[in-house]
Amino acid sequence: MVAVVAEIRGANLAEEYPEGYKGYMTMTSTSAGTLPEWTSVLAVVAHPDDESFGLGAILDVFTRAGAGVEVLCLTHGEASTLHGTPGDLSSLRGAELAEAADLLGVSRATLKNHADGGLSDLPGAMLAAEVVAAARSCGADGLLVFDTAGVTGHCDHMAATAAGVLAAEMIHLPVLGWTLPQAVAARLNQELGASFIGHQDEEIDLRVTVDRARQRLASHAHVSQALPSSVLWRRLELLGDTESLRWLRQPIGATVTS
Ligand SMILES: [Zn+2]
């Protein structure tokens, strides 16, 4: 089903860009189970642990394929209600991010100091400018973010994604959004009283087979947050070896910049 959608889009693009161009080639080389062939990826997230709990398995696929991956994290996550280890969360979580990034093969993790819980109060253009700077610094071919609804519904997740999409519009980059199948979101919400927001099958563009070994290691590096009772573990169990993504900004009409 998803492969058909990709083919149809590819066909339209082929008519539009008969001689091909970078974005078109990326799109048509993307099947239902293959991530785009980006050589440099910037992941934009709100909190330390989002890159592991959420994007970890996808980042692992990119790094195993030889892509350079950088993470831009917009807060220190100091407002978390979880305290799996004693100490100041702001500094603890920064150190946890650094360790998790190492485990995931991320070449650089940049931590901004915006207030945890307050991203949506900040000017979107200001956050987008930070994303633009990070994307230019690493020569990103594309951005990886949480889905527009934030996946967990957290307003910081939505703001981080909005900043990523706005930045991508400014510098003409494609954006992939990590999401959950609706069935998994509904199951988690029913079982655990969570508030995950997923997507129906027909709204999902890519389903990628992943190996979760490094994601699990990186998640455990977030000692203050990865509690045995965390909904994370059940989510990983339900997702199995598959992650789902949507194009939040497709590479259609993108200009190739150097
Ligand atoms: Zn988060």
> Strands, DSSP E only, in the chain?
40-45, 68-75, 108-114, 142-146, 175-179, 206-209, 242-249
**Backbone φ, ψ for residue 71 (5° rounding):** -120, 130
Domain ranges across the chain: 25-249
CATH code given to domain 25-249? 3.40.50.10320
Q: What distance in angstroms lies between residue 73's CA and the mean position of ligand 1's atoms? A: 10
Rounded Cα distance, 76 and 169, in Å: 26
Two tokens at 113? 């100091």
Q: What distance in angstroms lies between residue 9's CA and the mean position of ligand 1's atoms? A: 32
Per-residue pLDDT of the chain (258 residues; tens, 9 = 90+): 222 223 223 333 333 333 333 333 333 334 478 999 999 999 999 999 999 999 999 999 999 999 999 999 999 999 998 888 888 999 999 999 999 999 999 999 999 999 999 999 999 999 999 999 999 999 999 999 999 999 999 999 999 999 999 999 999 999 999 999 999 999 999 999 999 999 999 999 999 999 999 999 999 999 999 999 999 999 999 999 999 999 999 986 544 444
Q: What distance in angstroms lies between residue 116's CA and the mean position of ligand 1's atoms? A: 9
Q: Does residue 202 contact residue 1 with C-beta atoms inside 8 Å?
A: yes
Q: Does residue 42 contact residue 106 with C-beta atoms inside 8 Å?
A: no
Q: What distance in angstroms lies between residue 162's CA and the mean position of ligand 1's atoms? A: 14
Q: What distance in angstroms lies between residue 141's CA and the mean position of ligand 1's atoms? A: 24
Q: What distance in angstroms lies between residue 50's CA and the mean position of ligand 1's atoms? A: 5
Q: What is the pLDDT of residue 252?
A: 66
Q: What distance in angstroms lies between residue 183's CA and the mean position of ligand 1's atoms? A: 21
Q: What distance in angstroms lies between residue 251's CA and the mean position of ligand 1's atoms? A: 26
